[in-house]
Homo-oligomer: A and B are copies of this chain.
């Protein structure tokens, strides 16, 4: 039986410690809603951006958009998960962070619902002051809205694999759907964080002949090697961009990578990445989630090198379906689960944020 109140770690002011608050757990769950007791919540790099105030959100907010939990109460009419499997109290589930309107120009006319004008995301877009309050993952309970895309997890897929791959894996699946790796491609990944590692995994799974990861710190490059990167380049050991470029081009002989995936987030990565593509290659700008301002770029490069530059924002429920299928069907689940290196109780959520912001962890999680 659910508790009467739920603890939650709440972002009240940017760059200030989260504060733990209690909110009432709803006794009655509305049509199509689900009350979920949270078992594990991932700390995403985006949470750091949110905490710093780099994206526009309503405060206060309960952070947390990569979450696994167990169904505690099911509202009327909610009998099946996104895949059509029966849902019951006690089921272990995950869900997509976003709900889209399904009716706007982007949802309907252009079928690009990640750009839905009415999109709202758990852990990001809901003000915690407004009932029903519990709309983020850094909490004991979350109340999922009707229309949420809920996925029942198979027993063969452990919670650590789901949270360890996180929204990074779905983001990378969407990105590489838009800019596919083809058999025999040479792929360079800029960034060794969760998105970079997910892109590396997908590149390898898609038949890349050679994969090169550029990033830091060393413990993450070691993870990249464990994920099968043929070469890693440390931006700490090779801080000079020109030297990095020469090294990358040596690995990606003769002319650079067929696909370069940006998973860094700093604007400066983008002009550097354009130079790592072969002529006629593809550059997937996957990591520029926060608006960090302008960077000098030379557009002549785009015309002369005949490049394709592809942006990709977030993901759709079908990418979570693919991600869970991929994890459950391969050895990758073991590797992603191993990424979960740091666990914190809800009371120590600030330590979890700090661990991620200082790049100390594989994946840090909250276990309420």
Indicate whether A106 sits within 8 Å of B290 (C-beta atoms), given known contacts A311-B304, A322-B183. Answer: no
A287 lies within 8 A of B303 (CB): yes
Question: Does A246 lie at the interface of the complex (its beta carbon under 8 Å from any beta carbon of B)?
Answer: no
- Among B173, B209, B210, which residue has its beta carbon within 8 angstroms of that of A183? B173
State in angstroms the CA–CA spacing of A109 and B321 once bound together. Answer: 8
A264-295: CB near B (< 8 Å → 1, else 0) gives: 00010111000000111000011111111111
Count of identical protomers in the assembly: 4
State in angstroms the CA–CA spacing of A297 and B44 once bound together. Answer: 26
Question: Does A104 lie at the interface of the complex (its beta carbon under 8 Å from any beta carbon of B)?
Answer: yes
- Output the nearest chain B residue to A184 by Cβ-Cβ distance: B322
- Output the nearest chain B residue to A322 by Cβ-Cβ distance: B184
State in angstroms the CA–CA spacing of A129 and B366 once bound together. Answer: 58
Q: How many residues of A contact B (CB 8 A)?
A: 75
- Among B105, B205, B291, B304, which residue has its beta carbon within 8 angstroms of that of A300? B291
Question: Does A5 lie at the interface of the complex (its beta carbon under 8 Å from any beta carbon of B)?
Answer: no
B304 lies within 8 A of A313 (CB): yes
Residues of B within 8 A of A280 (CB): 106, 110, 112, 115
Question: Does A357 lie at the interface of the complex (its beta carbon under 8 Å from any beta carbon of B)?
Answer: no
Most buried by B among A80, A103, A110, A293: A110
A111 lies within 8 A of B112 (CB): no
Question: Does A154 lie at the interface of the complex (its beta carbon under 8 Å from any beta carbon of B)?
Answer: no
Residues of B within 8 A of A296 (CB): 294-297
Indicate whether A305 sits within 8 Å of B298 (C-beta atoms), given known contacts A111-B318, A202-B183. Answer: no
Least CB distance from A339 to B in Å reads 20
- Output the nearest chain B residue to A114 by Cβ-Cβ distance: B306
Residues of B within 8 A of A295 (CB): 296-299
B313 lies within 8 A of A306 (CB): yes
Question: Does A82 lie at the interface of the complex (its beta carbon under 8 Å from any beta carbon of B)?
Answer: yes
B293 lies within 8 A of A329 (CB): no
Residues of B within 8 A of A206 (CB): 183, 206-207
Residues of B within 8 A of A303 (CB): 285-289, 311-313
Question: Does A254 lie at the interface of the complex (its beta carbon under 8 Å from any beta carbon of B)?
Answer: yes
B322 lies within 8 A of A312 (CB): no
State in angstroms the CA–CA spacing of A321 and B104 once bound together. Answer: 13
B254 lies within 8 A of A326 (CB): no
State in angstroms the CA–CA spacing of A173 and B182 once bound together. Answer: 11
Question: Does A84 lie at the interface of the complex (its beta carbon under 8 Å from any beta carbon of B)?
Answer: yes
Give chain A interface residues in 166-190, CB to chain B under 8 Å.
Answer: 173, 176-178, 180, 182-184
Question: Does A191 lie at the interface of the complex (its beta carbon under 8 Å from any beta carbon of B)?
Answer: no
20 pairs from A and B in contact (CB 8 Å cutoff): A80-B103, A108-B317, A115-B280, A115-B306, A173-B183, A183-B206, A206-B207, A209-B325, A209-B329, A267-B299, A270-B302, A285-B302, A285-B303, A288-B299, A289-B303, A293-B298, A295-B298, A296-B297, A305-B313, A309-B309
B-binding residues in A (CB < 8 A)? 80, 82-84, 103-106, 108-112, 114-115, 173, 176-178, 180, 182-184, 202, 205-207, 209-210, 254-255, 262, 267, 269-271, 278-280, 285-313, 317-318, 321-322, 325-326, 329
A-B interface, 3 closest residue pairs, ranked by CB to CB distance from nearest: A294-B296, A309-B309, A302-B311
